[in-house]
Amino acid sequence: RRRLHRSSADAITLIELVRNMGEDGCTPGSHIIPAAPEILLSLGAFGGGMRCPIDNYGYDRLTDNDTYIVYPPVPGGGDVWVEATYSAEPARIVGIDDEVSLSESYKQAIQHHMLYEILSGYGDQASVTRALHHKQEFLNELDMKQKVDMTWPRSASSVRGEG
């Protein structure tokens, strides 16, 4: 059975469920293992009992990234606390003195993108050439960040060796 639960107000897309966080939402518990949504749906058909903590989660990012499935199912009306990683909408910048609320690791990429946007508005060839250079640097920075993120431990607990 698919059901949406409350999440952080700024959440856009689920990246992963990391671990259970106890009845108080503050006590680290067992890790949650990803699984194919089809498998979890078939397990639910056999009745797996409604209990906590959550053992597995799954969702299809390409088909429906707003719906995810957990196993065993969460009791109706019950709250379950989990540590989750998700993408969030950054605060909108409306003034020149507003601060960017993104990680410092994106600083260079943001600067290149801003320069690209500014320079691409001019019609002369020199500005267009410089704009394209900054666009390429922006894309290079994002690719570098993605490569670093792929090799970095997925959660703080994996760095400390906690379970």
- Write out the H or E segment, with its range, that includes residue 147: helix 125-151
DSSP state of 118: H
Side-chain half-sphere CA neighbours of 127 within 13 A: 9
Express each pLDDT in 74-96 by its tens digit. 877 677 888 988 887 777 888 88
Express each pLDDT in 20-46 by its tens digit. 998 888 899 999 999 988 888 888 655
The span from the first CA to the last CA of the chain, in angstroms, equals 29
**Greatest pairwise CA separation for the chain in angstroms:** 68
DSSP state of 104: G
Name the pTM for this structure.
0.57
CA distances from 82 to 19, 64, 95 (A): 6, 21, 36
